[in-house]
Amino acid sequence: MKNITGIGIDIVSIHRIRKIYELHRDKFLNKIFTESEIAESTQKGHFFSSLAGKFAAKEAFLKAKSSLRLSLKQIEILSDENNKPFLSLSNKKLDNCHVSISHEQEIAIAVVVML
C-alpha cells in the first residue's frame, strides 16, 4: 500500500471566475490555463464551472505539494476518456496524484491526494 504524501483541497466561486473572465478575457485565461484546458472546458458546455473546477484542482495540488514553487499554468487538469480528471505537471502526467472535482450551483471544489 502506498502512503499519502500530501493532500490538498480548494473551493472556488464559479461566479468569481466568470467575473474575472469578463474583466480580463484572454489575458486571464492564458495566464492560468493551458490551451488544452480551455478547449476541454469549451467542449464540455459548462465553461465557467469547468474552469472553476480546474482552478480549484490547481490550488489543491499546490496545497498538497507545498514545497513546490510553480505557476498555475504549469499545472494542467484534464479528463481522461471516462471523464475522470487527471493532473499533469509540465506536460507529464502524475500517476501518483489523484484528483476529484465537483460542482454545485455556484461552487466548485477539488481534492488532490498525492501518493
Q: What is the pLDDT of residues 52-62, one digit of tens each?
A: 999 999 999 99
Quick check: is 18 in a domain?
Answer: yes
Residue 10 falls inside a structural domain: yes
Q: Which of 75, 73, 33 is nearest to 52 (CA)?
A: 33
Annotated catalytic residues are: 63, 103
Q: Which pLDDT score, from 0 to 100, does residue 14 have?
A: 98
Specify whether the CB–CB gap between 114 and 97 falls below 8 A.
Answer: yes
| pLDDT at residue 105, rounded to an integer | 94
Instruction: Count up the domains in the chain and report the number.
Output: 1
Judge whether residue 67 has pLDDT over 70: yes
Tell me the pLDDT of the chain averaged across its residues: 95
Q: Percent of the chain beyond pLDDT 90?
A: 89
Q: For the whole model, what pTM was predicted?
A: 0.95
In a domain, residue 82? The reply is yes
Q: Is residue 100 part of a domain?
A: yes
What domain range is 70 assigned to? 6-114
CA pair distance 67, 73, nearest whole angstrom: 17
Domain harbouring 64, CATH code:
3.90.470.20
pLDDT at 48: 97
b/e map 89-104, b = 16+ CB within 10 Å: eeeeebeebbbebebe
pLDDT in tens, 80-99: 999 999 999 988 999 999 99
- Express each pLDDT in 8-34 by its tens digit: 999 999 999 999 999 999 999 999 999
pLDDT band at 1 (very low <50, low <70, confident <90, very high): low
Greatest extent of the chain over all pairs of C-alpha atoms, in Å: 47
Is position 1 within any domain? no
